[in-house]
Structure 1
Amino acid sequence: MMKPYCFGPLTVAFLLILRLPVPAAEPPHLIIEAPAALSHLSTRVQDIDKARLQAIMNLVGVEHPGNPIRVLIMPEDSDWARQAPSWVLGYAISERDLIVLLPERVIGYPYDSFESLFEHELAHILIGRAAGGQSVPRWLDEGLAMVASHTWEFDDRARLIWAMLTTEQTSPETFDTLFSQDGSAPHRAYLLSHAFVRFLIRQYSNQWPRQSLAALSQEYSFPAAFALITSHSFEHASDQFWDQQTPWSRWIPVATSSSVLWVSIIVLALYAFKKQRQRAEAVKRQWQDEDD
């Protein structure tokens, strides 16, 4: 049974424990399986910097390697691929300590590379462990996996502007329904979940994810866990997120980004060059007229 909003002396002690720093742990042992044609990808998984995997463990609050994780790198004609929709590039089954990667499908958003795909799915396994096998809201699960595996960049800001223009203000729980829809809906769900989790981390510190998952592992409901960690209601945080997504605040990060700055400089330089050419042509014509 999930625990309601009941905070007492034990809760205070629990909070103190949650705020203790998490030491760097050895990542889980990986058992990687792939057919000969995809065996080179096994090496790419093995060669991922251990510090990156430890950073994911620290983000979600996993302090021990735990059981080995089986990683299957499967071709498109495999039964593992047929079990997943065509847009799914990989999936994790936490209770089985299993990751399935489908690299023959086109890598695209929300993944930057094959390595980020693996890190995303590994994050799902570790999130499940940090939560003690308790249910984790889909938007939180995917948002944290995005934070763990995907850097927020200029393209994400531009996508967020479009997502906000095409999505009415709604609760994060509603993001979950987008994951099972067709078309661009799953991409919007990933983007909104990523943006919302980033917002919560900025608001409540880098410790918020692992504190929240630890509270879930103690069988608190998510709203109760959120109130326990932040002293705010989840509804309040959701409203704050949407309030900050004004047209002004959406455009400022894009308009002031280095990418836009350099594009602006190039455009201005081309404009100046064009004007200079026009002036030179005018002077040349004037000289020709004077010679005539």
Structure 2
Amino acid sequence: MTRPWRAALGLFLAALLFLFVAPQAARADVSRPVGWSLASATSQVHVGRVTLRYDPRLEDEALAVAREIPRAWSEIEHELAGDLDDALTIHFVAHSGRIAEGTGVPQWAAGVAHPPTGEIAIAAHAPDGSLTDLDGLLRHEMAHVALYRATGGQPLPRWFHEGVAESFGEEIDLMRSQTLAGAIFGAGVPHLEQLEQNFRSTDAITVTVSYAAARDFVNFLRWRDEDGSDLRQALAQVKQGKNFEAAFVNGFGRTLAELDSEWRTGLTGRFMWFPIVSGDGLPMALAFPLVFIAAVRRRRHLRAGWARLEAEDAALRAPFAA
């Protein structure tokens, strides 16, 4: 199979995957007033300042979600702002249909966030009954809330909002990587000015490629410097009222166009594996080192997150003990 045909086939398969995975998609709702009523979430557990409300039938899954909260939030807030308001309310229900009934989002959305109030809803099952990726949904929606708080609710391009949420939602996403690689060696990766319009497209391939590109560009911004301080500085500038592009000049010392060009320069080299393996699929052996690195990072952030939340709980109890 020739390279152009392989790239086209990769994009076509990615589009099909997007259509089937869409019911598990997550989203941010920043305009709808929140009066969420997820009646089945009658039990609750507190993790620091986070309240997790859940369907009693999902107690085991809910406790697993609760164990992930400290690590996930700690990592996200550290990378976006250093420290943020930790108050969240998470609704965990059995089916995405319950989320649609309670929040008004489309039936296919298995996760939704309302950043102004810090409310999140996630579902254990998609409309077709398949299990959702709870960890990915949780992190995706947390990232929407954290980004809103890190920027003081200032308007942001949708490609950036979704790119940040996608970046934190999955540390490793082979489907997104293959989608982006197919575009690099195929029709081309859309430029930043195209992404905003592309997110409103009804074409599955266009939307899929745009999500993959936004995710990879945000990953580039997150890891461009050693400690991620450039991104935190840029977001702090946005919070202070700076124009989005001016904030990036102040934070990164580069315009968005220059950062975009720098990112694109390295794409072909980073995805050189695609023409080699696209005929037979990505060998799982290539993914093992990435999975191991992700596991180490998760354990480190989990320990740090629990330590911080335990310290906050102790500080809240101190006045009563006295």
Separation of aligned partners in 1, 2:100 and 2:132: 22
Q: Which residue pairs with 2:192 in the alignment?
A: 172
Residue 126 of structure 1: which of 119, 131, 146 is its match?
146
The one-letter code matched in structure 1 to 2:148 is G
SS in 1 for 2:75: helix
Residue 257 of structure 2 corresponds to residue 238 of structure 1: no
Shift, 1:115, TM fit: 1.4
The TM-score with structure 1 as length reference comes to 0.67
Shift, 1:36, TM fit: 3.3
> Are the counterparts in 1 of residues 201 and 207 from structure 2 also a CA contact under 8 Å?
yes
Separation of aligned partners in 1, 2:217 and 2:57: 39
SS in 2 for 1:228: helix
Residue 69 of structure 1: which of 83, 88, 94 is its match?
88
Separation of aligned partners in 1, 2:192 and 2:75: 25
Separation of aligned partners in 2, 1:127 and 1:70: 16
Shift, 1:227, TM fit: 0.7
Separation of aligned partners in 2, 1:45 and 1:200: 28
| RMSD after superposition | 3.1
Runs of 4+ in 1 over 6 A off after TM superposition: none
Shift, 1:208, TM fit: 2.5
The one-letter code matched in structure 2 to 1:160 is L
Residue 142 of structure 2 corresponds to residue 85 of structure 1: no
SS in 2 for 1:136: coil
> Are the counterparts in 2 of residues 28 and 69 from structure 1 also a CA contact under 8 Å?
no
Q: How does 1:27-176 map to 2 (within 5 A)?
A: 29-48=49-68, 50-66=70-86, 68-74=87-93, 75-78=95-98, 80=100, 83-105=104-126, 113-152=133-172, 154-165=174-185, 167-176=187-196
C-alpha distance after superposition, 1:232-271 (max 9, x if no partner): 111111122223333x542247859xx64958xxxxxxxx
Residue 210 of structure 2 corresponds to residue 189 of structure 1: yes
- More strand by percentage: 2
Q: Single out whichever of 74-83 and 49-58 deviates more from structure 2.
A: 74-83
**Structure 1, gaps ≥5 residues long:** 1-26, 264-292
Separation of aligned partners in 2, 1:261 and 1:80: 36
Residue 216 of structure 1: which of 229, 233, 238 is its match?
238
Residue 272 of structure 2 corresponds to residue 251 of structure 1: yes
Shift, 1:167, TM fit: 4.8
Separation of aligned partners in 1, 2:105 and 2:253: 40
Separation of aligned partners in 2, 1:112 and 1:204: 33
**CA distance 1:102–1:51, change in 2 (3 Å):** closer
Separation of aligned partners in 2, 1:86 and 1:92: 15
Separation of aligned partners in 2, 1:89 and 1:166: 31
The one-letter code matched in structure 2 to 1:215 is Q
The one-letter code matched in structure 1 to 2:242 is Y
**CA distance 1:112–1:253, change in 2 (3 Å):** farther
> Are the counterparts in 1 of residues 180 and 189 from structure 2 also a CA contact under 8 Å?
no
Separation of aligned partners in 1, 2:207 and 2:89: 26
Shift, 1:217, TM fit: 0.2
SS in 2 for 1:103: strand
Separation of aligned partners in 2, 1:151 and 1:79: 25
Residue 199 of structure 1: which of 194, 202, 220 is its match?
220
Larger Rg: 1
Shift, 1:198, TM fit: 1.5
The one-letter code matched in structure 2 to 1:189 is S
Shift, 1:169, TM fit: 4.4
The one-letter code matched in structure 2 to 1:91 is V
Q: Single out whichever of 163-172 and 228-237 deviates more from structure 2.
A: 163-172
> Are the counterparts in 2 of residues 204 and 230 from structure 1 also a CA contact under 8 Å?
no
The TM-score with structure 2 as length reference comes to 0.61
Separation of aligned partners in 2, 1:57 and 1:124: 11
Q: How many residues align?
A: 230
Q: Which residue pairs with 1:10 in the alignment?
A: none
Separation of aligned partners in 1, 2:283 and 2:75: 31
**Structure 2, gaps ≥5 residues long:** 1-46, 287-322
Identity of aligned residues (%): 19
**CA distance 1:254–1:208, change in 2 (3 Å):** farther
Shift, 1:154, TM fit: 4.7
Separation of aligned partners in 2, 1:64 and 1:231: 25
**Higher RCO (CA-CA < 8 Å; seq separation 6+):** 2
Q: Single out whichever of 177-186 and 41-50 deviates more from structure 2.
A: 177-186
SS in 2 for 1:77: helix
